[in-house]
Amino acid sequence: MVMLLRSCCRVLLPHIVTCRNHHVSAKGKRCLLSRLYQPRSLWEVKASETEAKPNEPTSKSQKLMIKAGLIRPSSPGCFHYLPFTVRAMEKLIRLIDKEMQDIGGQKIDMPTLSSAALWRQSGRWDLMGKELFRLMDRHNQEYCLGPTHEEAVTHLVASEGGINNKELPLLLYQITRKFRDEQRPCFGLLRGREFYMKDMYTFDISDESAYETYRNVCDAYTNIFRALGVRFVKVQADTGNIGGKMSHEFHLPANIGEDRLLVCGSCDFSANVELLQHNEKNCPVCTGQLKETKGIEIGHTFYLGTKYSHVFKATCYDSQKTPFIAEMGCYGIGVSRLLAASLEVLSKEDDIHWPGLIAPYQVCLISPKKGSKESEAITISETLYDEIIQSVPWLRDETVLDDRSYLTIGKRVKEAHMTGYPYIIVVGKKALETPSLFEVRSHNTDEVHFFSREGVIDFLQRVKVI
Ligand SMILES: [Zn+2]
């Protein structure tokens, strides 16, 4: 059936690129690995790029992402995100959008160029050091590339006349590129100069409702990190140059982390070392023993109070139209850092392991090597591919056919493990037996099964993304 269609369409529709490349079948479009941009030729040639140069630290996620053709370095601390990474980022953004919107968050998109005048008004133009990217336009107006947007959003809300009772609490957020002129960018997407951040700003009329909003956002953060299946800790933190009354950080514990955390073994208390007295060994809550661990900061929440709303006169109105200075909060998640940090903590030395929810593709189906005894199984692998996307609709855009039949199965299995597909299906010798058997590898559990055609479909139908 598939063969037939192929020869027809070559004759009838030679002008359609997809047909000429055989990636349209009767059942729909096949996603062919040979067509995906994942520069692998660099794996060996540029292996030196992934080695640590003297005095230049590198990280597991950086090495693996470069090696697997997911990112390419452009300038210090800046990377090209290649197709697999963009797919994973889009999934992560969908997850974050859902959680932010479930608590009433409304998505906006503020300019990257942020006027110096606003930053002078809050006093941060001088307070922020060299990490702020500053620039000047042709009219000698100064700007910065926004690393955070408290000034911009508070000015926006204030200049629009404040917030009505019915709009409260107001939760505005964005997921955009942010900039920080790091002295020494390193560890790939973990500490770059240009990165994606989700930043939310909240406006409440009172202390009590602002605390409730703060708790809601923290709960949403917990949902996000749980959905990714990564171990995380929430710690009390310093408010730093953002300011405010209360702050928490979310960390993924990892040796490469740059923050030192103290976690109580006996109660829930945990804090960033910066917050505690030097050499504190006992928990300030229960006097239990504090244990030190390192963490990669992936989220930060601040209860700001009126620090910015006071400066920019952002006002909330109650039902009697009485004005109150808005109680604000701001909440960040380093989105690209979270992606890299999850790889950092889940991956093995040579293989990427994705949180299932954000794996760029779920399934890689590997066809046999051309010229090998199994080569007639190439047709079988195409048919199996079509059956999978037919019978398991959610895998339609999630299944890749590794059609590079000029490579051995072994080499492609190794590459598939490195890329981190949660499920790898191999069409090999056993596919030619009666009945056909296919090898199904679950990357995250190391399980290998041999299934019949029906067995493969049944297995994939029962797959839950975790
Ligand atoms: Zn304790």
Separation between Cα atoms, residue 430 and residue 436, nearest integer Å: 6
For the chain, the domains span: 2-35+361-462, 86-345
| pLDDT reported for residue 41 | 55
Q: What is the mean pLDDT of residues 156-181?
A: 96
Q: What is the mean pLDDT of residues 109-116?
A: 97
Unique residue bearing structure tokens 């049944």: 458
- Structural contact between residues 348 and 408, judged by C-beta atoms closer than 8 angstroms: no
Q: How far is the CA of 217 from the centre of ligand 1 (A)?
A: 24
| pLDDT reported for residue 258 | 87
Q: How far is the CA of 341 from the centre of ligand 1 (A)?
A: 27
Q: Where does the pLDDT of residue 245 fall: very low under 50, low under 70, confident under 90, or very high at 90 and above? A: confident
Q: Where does the pLDDT of residue 21 fall: very low under 50, low under 70, confident under 90, or very high at 90 and above? A: very low
Separation between Cα atoms, residue 405 and residue 373, nearest integer Å: 12
Q: What is the mean pLDDT of residues 197-218?
A: 97
- Mean pLDDT rounded to a whole number for the chain: 89
Q: How far is the CA of 222 from the centre of ligand 1 (A)?
A: 21
For the chain, what's the residue count?
A: 466
Separation between Cα atoms, residue 25 and residue 302, nearest integer Å: 53
- How many Cα atoms sit within 13 Å of 438 on the Cβ side? 30
Query: What residue type is assigned to position 394 of the chain?
Result: W
| pLDDT reported for residue 16 | 35
Please state which of the ranges 55-59, 92-96, 412-416, 443-447 shows the lowest mean pLDDT: 55-59
Q: How far is the CA of 289 from the centre of ligand 1 (A)?
A: 7
Query: What residue type is assigned to position 396 of the chain?
Result: R
Q: How far is the CA of 268 from the centre of ligand 1 (A)?
A: 6
The proportion of the chain whose per-residue pLDDT surpasses 90, expressed as a percent, equals: 74
In 3D space, the residue among 331, 334, 341 whose CA is nearest the CA of residue 295 turns out to be: 341
Q: What is the mean pLDDT of residues 196-218?
A: 97
**Helix (H) or strand (E) run with residue 252 in it:** strand 246-253
The proportion of the chain whose per-residue pLDDT surpasses 70, expressed as a percent, equals: 89
Q: What is the mean pLDDT of residues 88-111?
A: 98
| pLDDT reported for residue 49 | 54
DSSP 464: -
User: Is residue 465 predicted with pLDDT exceeding 90?
Assistant: no
Q: Where does the pLDDT of residue 368 fall: very low under 50, low under 70, confident under 90, or very high at 90 and above? A: very high
Q: Give just the sign of the alpha carbon dihedral 30, 34, 39, 40.
A: positive
Strands 170-179 and 194-204 come out as antiparallel
Phi-psi region of 22 (alpha: psi -120 to 50; beta: other; left: phi over 0): left
Q: What are the beta bridge partners of residue 290?
A: 264
User: Is residue 17 predicted with pLDDT exceeding 80?
Assistant: no
- Structural contact between residues 321 and 166, judged by C-beta atoms closer than 8 angstroms: no
Please state which of the ranges 37-46, 54-63, 395-404, 411-420 shows the lowest mean pLDDT: 37-46
User: Is residue 2 predicted with pLDDT exceeding 50?
Assistant: no
Residue 273 makes CB contacts below 8 A (sequence gap 6+) with 259, 260, 261, 262, 292
| pLDDT reported for residue 237 | 87
| pLDDT reported for residue 4 | 36
User: Is residue 363 predicted with pLDDT exceeding 60?
Assistant: yes
- Structural contact between residues 317 and 162, judged by C-beta atoms closer than 8 angstroms: yes
| pLDDT reported for residue 13 | 34
- Structural contact between residues 188 and 59, judged by C-beta atoms closer than 8 angstroms: yes
Q: What is the mean pLDDT of residues 310-336?
A: 97
Q: What is the mean pLDDT of residues 250-273?
A: 89
Backbone angles phi, psi at 361, to 5 degrees: -135, 150
Helix axes 453-462, 377-391, angle to 10 degrees: 30
- Structural contact between residues 23 and 32, judged by C-beta atoms closer than 8 angstroms: yes
User: Is residue 15 predicted with pLDDT exceeding 70?
Assistant: no
Q: How far is the CA of 266 from the centre of ligand 1 (A)?
A: 5
Q: How far is the CA of 221 from the centre of ligand 1 (A)?
A: 23
Q: How far is the CA of 234 from the centre of ligand 1 (A)?
A: 14
Please give the structure tokens belonging to residue 144: 């910065």
Q: How far is the CA of 269 from the centre of ligand 1 (A)?
A: 5
Please state which of the ranges 118-122, 136-140, 234-238, 246-250 shows the lowest mean pLDDT: 234-238
DSSP 131: T
The CATH class, in words, for 86-345 is alpha beta
Q: What is the pLDDT of residues 304-322, one digit of tens each?
A: 999 999 999 999 999 999 9
Q: Where does the pLDDT of residue 268 fall: very low under 50, low under 70, confident under 90, or very high at 90 and above? A: confident
Domain 2-35+361-462: homologous superfamily in CATH: Anticodon-binding domain (3.40.50.800)
Q: What is the pLDDT of residues 222-240, one digit of tens each?
A: 999 999 999 999 998 887 7
Q: What is the mean pLDDT of residues 364-376?
A: 87
C-alpha 10: how far from chain center: 40
